[in-house]
């Protein structure tokens, strides 16, 4: 499903001023080209969306365990050690995979180069719903 400016405009909160609505539409129309995905503002906190190394991943078929880099999906408040819990909270994350490795997988599957190029372009434009692209800094 491709979102148009009109369909997005229909979902903007009614209480925003016209200037705020136009500003929001402008920012959304700039996505994903003019966006900074990264921040260094909270270096001492573990936050949702942070990238981390040393996260354990398990292959349930083989039982193999290894460590990988990933992006944290859990809510920041759930991971905050200052929040008391009766039972410890586990962090949920998604592994990070280099775009080159994904491209290699497609090549090994025998997918046509033009189709691969189109897939990679769509991924980088955030148009693929099951993959979230994070550009290198």
Strongest mean pLDDT among 9-13, 29-33, 106-110: 106-110
Q: What is the pTM of this model?
A: 0.67
What contacts 77, CB < 8 A, 6 or more positions away?
A: 83
> Greater confidence, 30 or 76?
76
Residue 16: DSSP 8-state: S
Burial class (CB in 10 A: 0-12, 13-18, 19+), 133: middle
Alpha carbon separation from 94 to 5, 13, 70, 74 (Å, rounded): 30, 31, 5, 10
Backbone phi, then psi, for 121, in 5-degree steps?
-60, -45
DSSP 85-129: -SSPPPPPEEE---HHHHHHHHHHTT--HHHHHHHHHHHHTT--T
Task: Compute the 3-state secondary structure of the chain and give helix, strand, coil in percent, each to the nearest 5.
Answer: 30, 15, 55
> Domain map of the chain by residue range?
1-30, 38-96, 97-137
Q: For residue range 74-128, what is the model confidence (pLDDT) as tens digits?
A: 999 988 988 888 998 888 999 999 999 999 999 999 999 999 999 999 999 888 9
């Amino acid at each position: 499903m491709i979102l148009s400016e009109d369909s997005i405009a229909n979902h903007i909160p009614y209480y925003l001023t016209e200037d705020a609505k136009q500003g929001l539409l402008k920012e959304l129309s700039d996505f994903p080209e003019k966006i900074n995905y990264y921040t260094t503002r909270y270096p001492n906190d573990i936050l949702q969306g942070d990238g981390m190394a040393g996260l354990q991943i398990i292959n349930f078929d083989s039982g193999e365990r290894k460590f990988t880099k990933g992006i944290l999906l859990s809510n920041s408040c759930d991971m905050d050690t200052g929040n008391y819990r009766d039972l410890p909270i586990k962090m949920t994350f998604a592994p990070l995979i280099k775009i080159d490795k994904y491209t290699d997988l497609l090549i090994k599957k025998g997918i046509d180069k033009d189709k691969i190029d189109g897939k990679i372009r769509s991924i980088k434009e955030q148009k693929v719903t099951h993959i979230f692209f994070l550009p290198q800094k």
